[in-house]
Amino acid sequence: MTVWLVSTAAAVTVLAGVRSTWSPCGLSMLATVTPLAERARGHRYGVTVTWFVLGSVLGGLTLGGVTAALAAGVRTLALPQGALVGAGAMACLTGAVSDVGLCGIHLPVHHRQVNERWLDRFRPWVYGAGFGWQIGCGMATYITTAAVYLVVVLGALSVRPWAAVALGGAFGLVRGLAVLLGRSIVDLDGLRAFHRRFAELGPPVARVTVVGQLAAAVVLGRLVAPWAAWTALLVAGALACTGLRRRARGTGPRSYSGSKAPSRPATPLGAAVPSAVRSASDRSGASVPDPASSPGAPPDTASAGVPDRQAANAR
């Protein structure tokens, strides 16, 4: 059973890392850590991305270390494997219910962005590694899906500290590598097109994440008892009906914070374009959207400031 629990936790970890890319912090990283933005700051994109990925993996290992301590604690309880797997199945069901918001149920979250002033004050390796660590540890910034909590819960229930550390590191790696999705953004048109396509993919990825959590609940529940698997399937049916009713009303899916997402995905371009890029575009006569005109822009995006080149080099 432990092998199944660890394997299921690994799949949920990947889903959590991928889904978290659509958080406000994930979106802002795909607007500020790009070839376009780094060139505007006078920095090298490859260097910043390398530090970002390293910081994200370190953040994931930090999360894994905390989870490993919890796994060691659970191990001392000497609980039956059936109880551990059953608890994992219930946790997966709870995560799916929370993500959909069935009956208004949502796990508590916090809304925190990375500090955009770091872009003005520090060198690329500092804000790259610092932003990466905060995003990689999963709990320091916006939490977009309950699957992030599942990484910790399933890792602790595995009672294998090494597995818990590996899960955390894998989560941090997925979150760090996501920044490479913006490697082709070299001009403003590319920035607009990328975020438009990326916003359209958000709702399908959210649905896949919920389905993945339900599948994990079914797999783990089946290991405990057939009735547990049937319970998971019944909950899956209830969640599907809830989603169909919302789609029929045109309200769109709910975000993890409990607010309704727009029925048509908006593009976070207004606040995503760095100020230095705006200045360059003004000199060339290109048109850049105004932040106030972009209702889909996430609050307090980390792209609000781009460091002055001379000030950055002086440090």
List CB contacts of 269: < 8 A, sequence separation 6 or more: 31, 191, 192, 195, 196, 289, 294, 297
35 pLDDT band, cuts 50/70/90, is very high
Q: Which helix (H) or strand (E) holds 270?
A: none
- What does the pLDDT read at residue 302? 40
In sequence order, the β-bridge partners of residue 254 are 260
d(C-alpha 296, C-alpha 27), whole Å: 11
* Burial of 267: CB neighbours in 10 Å, binned 0-12, 13-18, 19+: buried
Q: Residue 248's pLDDT is what?
A: 53
CB neighbours (10 Å) of residue 105?
Answer: 12
CB atoms under 10 Å from CB of 249, counted, come to 9
Specify whether the CB–CB gap between 211 and 93 falls below 8 A. no
Give the pLDDT band (50/70/90) at residue 241: low
Determine the 3-state secondary structure of 261 from DSSP.
Answer: coil
Helices marked H in 33-104? 35-41, 45-76, 81-100
pLDDT at 9 over 90: yes
Residues 184, 70 contacting (CB under 8 angstroms) = no
Alpha carbon 311 to chain centroid, angstroms: 32
Write the CB contacts of 108 (distance below 8 Å, at least 6 apart in sequence).
Answer: none
Residue 249 to residue 41: CA distance in whole angstroms: 45
Query: 105-131: per-residue pLDDT in tens?
Result: 788 887 888 888 888 889 999 999 999
Averaged pLDDT of the chain:
80
> Binning pLDDT at 50, 70 and 90, where does residue 272 land?
very low
Largest CA distance in the chain: 68
Instruction: Give the mean model confidence (pLDDT) for residues 81-91.
Output: 90
pLDDT at 299 over 90: no
Rounded average pLDDT over 234-247: 63
Which SS3 state, helix, strand or coil, does residue 299 take?
Answer: coil
How far is residue 97's CA from residue 41's CA, in Å, rounded to a whole number? Answer: 43
Q: What does the pLDDT look like over 197-236, one tens digit per residue?
A: 999 999 999 999 999 998 998 888 888 776 666 676 676 6
Residue 260's SS3 state is strand
> What is the percent of the chain with per-residue pLDDT over 90, rounded to a whole number?
53
